[in-house]
Amino acid sequence: MQLIQLVIDGIASGCIYGLVALGFVLIYKATETINFAQGDILMLGAFVAYSLIGIMGMDYLTGFALTVLIIAAFGFFLDAVVIRQIIGQPAFATVMLTIGLGFIFRGFASIYWGTDIFSFSTPFSGKITEFNGLIISYVNLSIIGGTAILMSVLFLFFNFSKIGVAMRASSENQLAAYYMGIPVKFIFSLIWSISAGVAAVAGVLLAPITLVDTSISLIGLKAFAAAVLGGFGSIPGAIVGGIIIGIVEQLCGTYENYLFEGIREISAYLVLILTLIIYPRGLFSDKAEVKKV
Amino acid sequence: MRFIFKTKYSQDINIARHAGDKFWYSLLILVMAMMPLFLDDFYLGEISYICILSIAGIGLMILSGYTGLASLGHAAFLGIGAYTHAFLLTNGVPFLVSIPIVIAVSFLVGAVIGIPILRLTGMYLAIATLALGFIAEHVFIKWEHVTGGNRGMPVPQPEFMGISFYNSIFFYYVCLIFLIVSMFAAINILRSPTGRAFVAIRDSEIAAQSLGVNLGLYKALSFAVSGAFTGLAGALLAHYIGYLAPDIFNIFLSLTLLLLIVVGGMGSLHGTVFGAIFVGFLPQLIAICRDYLPSSIGSQPGLEPMLFGLILVFFILYEPLGIYGRWVKIKLFFELFPTYKSQTFKKQKVFTKSDRV
């Protein structure tokens, strides 16, 4: 029973990793760049939600929706103004650029909102439900439910909407998409905005658990493990990878005494390195194998 | 404008390109050696720190600037060097024996880590090194009977020929000598076939492979050599800090090293020194800026990471060749005056190179 309890907690935190990883995957699939600032965008989302809900006193759902819209618009302009300039530079330049942007966001957040730890009230805070002796908090339910809803919306969007199909086409082959009259640059900016919006959703859902401060941007680094495990480039892979990482982390934390002390904090990174060494293409990769030497 | 008339093939790999180089660099070394006559302890300490940063920068430059492999976890090597050195000194190993052991240990760790993860390319490598950096930080925290864990670990300051490392003039000379030796070592590695193989790998892996460069071997070697330089810098850093704590060797330090090589200029050893000067004086610069800003902004703790990020973004977007690249441009401007054309260094229009097969 304890095991099932742990697995449920793991799934909830794993969904957050999965959502952040989803942001990486969307951008990587389309533009072959990795956004190291994904975790910082998540942090911005949590802070904007705190401003709207906690300070301005908005309704939770309105504030949630508005936050996602604001961050998505931010993501759009981030690509249109900054990221697009370095297309064609070596991968290293993109890595450094997004790391630099992450630092700017974090610095901005700690100047504008301060370095204290904030929280805002949600309809889920502090409520739990019991089911056959399992204790499930509403916050965890909201995370799992929110992820499921978001995934379904994205699935429908990518498969049945015109823009969604255009996005998939641009990811498959930029040049061919361009010849078909798809505005590839605009589509890429739109993908950045969706990815930022997904990060904002993760940030708002996560806020009741970790509270809001600048250190939650570190989640972005753990989410790399989820993305790599899922096979960088696969959307369901990102979520499954995230859930696996979440469960592994919970189990390592509980059975720490049998393994070695402090394994909880590094378990995600250990999984990441092991995946890269043993099976670098990841669980769900539909693409060709990662280039090897 | 100076034209070098080459009469032998071996001139291509000379350390000094012409007599002017010999003169100016000898003068620079002489001036550096005379520094303790003009400067007080505070500035000597700062310059020693810049020397240490330069050595670490050489390490990362060989890996990222010359072999083209990104590492986001290089603080781990600084940590390994620092802790190994402090551990050996605590157990009574003399300084001059400890340093070669530190270099050997960092070299081996670099090779051992390098072999499995260097099969990865580009982004995957950056992510894997990031993860290694975190794991190393946790090892420093948890391996308490060697590193002292979160309590930290004092670094013994041994006496050397009757002079203690507390003496800032002596420490300055130690750092300077190690910097000069490392610089010569790096120059010699880079003009040897090994170094040429590194550059070939950076420019085109496929071309390098067709010319008989064993990619796996040379990438691992680059990682190991880079680790050795950075480990040496770590050992000196241990003396500079005096008290080791695991949170010194965090991701922020790794990113500072990257800032160093990007700002200094990717792919040039001059760049490591320029970058080290920049990074070394950055905190002072920020402290000065704080005084001019209104106190509501100036007193914010977030100012430093924000400026850090802004500088990084600015250099990546507008001066990818760093301070050294700017210096080369300015020099050429005066050499060609008044016929200099800004198109000389114009970025070529490039398209995304795909990793996908």
Check residue A293 and give its pLDDT. Answer: 40
- What pLDDT, in 10s, does the model give residues B314-337? 988 888 888 998 888 888 888 888
Contacts of B313 in chain A (CB under 8 A): 82, 97, 100-101, 104
Check residue A256 and give its pLDDT. Answer: 75
- What pLDDT, in 10s, does the model give residues B173-183? 999 999 999 99
Closest CA to B269 of B71, B19, B65: B65
Start-to-end C-alpha separation, chain B: 46
CA nearest to A100 within chain B: B309
CA nearest to B353 within chain A: A88
CA nearest to B349 within chain A: A88
Reduced to 3 states, what is the DSSP secondary structure of residue B265? coil
Contacts of A100 in chain B (CB under 8 A): 308-313, 316
pTM: 0.87
- Given the DSSP bridges, would you call strands A128-131 and A134-137 parallel, antiparallel or unpaired? antiparallel
Contact check, Cβ <8 Å, A280/B120: yes
The pLDDT profile of chain A, 293 residues, written as one tens digit per residue, is 788 888 888 898 899 999 999 988 888 888 878 889 999 999 999 999 999 988 888 888 899 999 999 999 999 999 999 988 887 777 778 888 998 999 999 888 888 888 788 888 888 777 778 777 788 888 888 899 999 999 999 989 988 999 999 988 888 888 888 899 999 889 999 999 999 999 999 999 988 888 888 888 888 888 888 988 888 878 888 999 999 999 999 888 888 777 777 788 888 888 888 888 888 777 886 554 444 44
Contact check, Cβ <8 Å, B216/A273: no
CA nearest to A91 within chain B: B122
Contact check, Cβ <8 Å, B320/A101: no
Spatial neighbors of B157 by CB under 8 A, at least 6 apart, are B164, B165, B166, B239, B242
Of B127, B311, B313, the CB nearest to A228: B127
Q: Is B122 left (phi over 0), alpha (psi -120 to 50) or beta?
A: left
Contacts of A103 in chain B (CB under 8 A): 255, 305-306, 308-309, 312
Q: How far apart are CA B251 and CA B259, in angstroms?
A: 12
Q: What is the mean pLDDT of residues B114-132?
A: 80
Contact check, Cβ <8 Å, B351/A260: no
Contacts of B113 in chain A (CB under 8 A): none
Size of interface A-B (CB pairs under 8 A): 163
Q: Are B323 and B265 in contact (CB under 8 A)?
A: yes
Q: How far apart are CA B20 and CA B239, in angstroms?
A: 36
CA distance A143 to chain B (A): 26
Side chain identity, residue A251: L
What's the burial of A277, exposed, middle or buried (CB within 10 Å: 0-12/13-18/19+)?
middle
CA nearest to A290 within chain B: B120
Q: How far apart are CA B267 and CA B68, in angstroms?
A: 9
What is the value of ipTM here, to two decimals?
0.83
